[in-house]
Amino acid sequence: MAALTLNSATAAVVTFETVPLASKSYWDGSDGSGGITVDGATFKNSYTPTYSSWTGFAVSNTTDTITPGWYNQYSAYTGGGAGGGAGGGAGGSANYAVGYYTTYDYAAYVTLASLTNMAGKGASFTNTTYAALSMLDGDGFAKKFGGATGNDADWLMLTIQGYAAGLPAGAVDFYLADYRFADHAQDYIVNDWRQVDFTPLGSVDELRFTMSSSDNNIYGMKTPSYFAMDNFPAVPEPSAALLLALSGMGCLARRKR
């Protein structure tokens, strides 16, 4: 099915605020659309009805930073507690995207309306509550970062790879948690929105998101492979009015020759 398409009047960045969500809710692709397009950027989603599961991108405005576990997989670790408070998005906004990366059903990528030079552009990222509390305290599957002594050199990394016409371009790594410091007072789990510069990606028409961790078994990552994203650089498709204006300018130019 075609991805759900939304547009705003002006589009410098995708803030996800035009995605219609009830308070403390989320869109996870259960409509079978296969993704959501906002201002020319399509955020892919793969939903499996049999298991009510998804991969790729969801859009959320939930704000629970207290409840651990998979049932709280849609909350950014920046919201207002279990019951509410300030918005969970960047700058206190309501909506934001949640990315979920898996190796078995790869859908965590964004396609752009056109080839775009990412110089000077970027997006905001943070942890989800599910991943952050798992790293902070451990859970029934993943370890507590730092281990029993606090000295384990653990980390969780998001990698953003740019593609142009299907060919890999530049890449950017962003650590969502890092416990590799000699001075463990510097160890951190990201709990605020942080801007990531996309300049090294170059000119691209697709971005693919992967994750890696120090905590693995034979099946792969044990750390929950989630991240939250907001204020993504928008590449809006030309509006009908703009296309008409450009067409008129072309006709005028031909008459002047």
Q: Is the pLDDT assigned to residue 238 strictly greater than 60?
A: no
The pLDDT of residue 240 is: 40
Q: Which of 42, 8, 33 is nearest to 206 (CA)?
A: 42
Average pLDDT over residues 75-87: 68
pLDDT of 39 above 80: yes
Residue 8's pLDDT is 53
**pLDDT tens for residues 122-135?**
999 999 999 999 99
The token pair at 14 is: 């995708």
H or E element that contains 130: helix 129-137
Residue 55: Cβ within 10 Å count: 22
How confident is the model at residue 80, as a pLDDT?
Answer: 55
Tens-place pLDDT, residues 105-114:
888 999 999 9
Supply the range of the domain harboring residue 73. Answer: 4-256
Domain count of the fold of the chain: 1
The mean pLDDT value for 205-234 works out to 96
Measured from the Cβ of residue 75, the count of other Cβ atoms closer than 10 Å reads 28
Q: How far apart are CA 100 and CA 51, in angstroms?
A: 15
Range of 151-155, 233-237, 244-248 with top mean pLDDT: 151-155
pLDDT of residue 256 exceeding 50: no
- Give every CB contact of residue 64 below 8 A, 6+ residues apart in sequence: 72, 75, 79, 81, 82, 129
Looking at the predicted structure, is the pLDDT value of residue 251 above 60? no
With bands split at pLDDT 50, 70 and 90, how would you rate the model's confidence at 1? low
CATH number of 19's domain: 2.60.120.1350
Band the pLDDT of 42: cuts 50, 70, 90.
very high
pLDDT on residue 122: 97
Q: How far is CA 172 from CA 9, 202, 208, 231, in A?
A: 30, 11, 11, 17
**Percent with pLDDT over 90 in the chain:** 79
What average pLDDT score do residues 60-68 get?
96
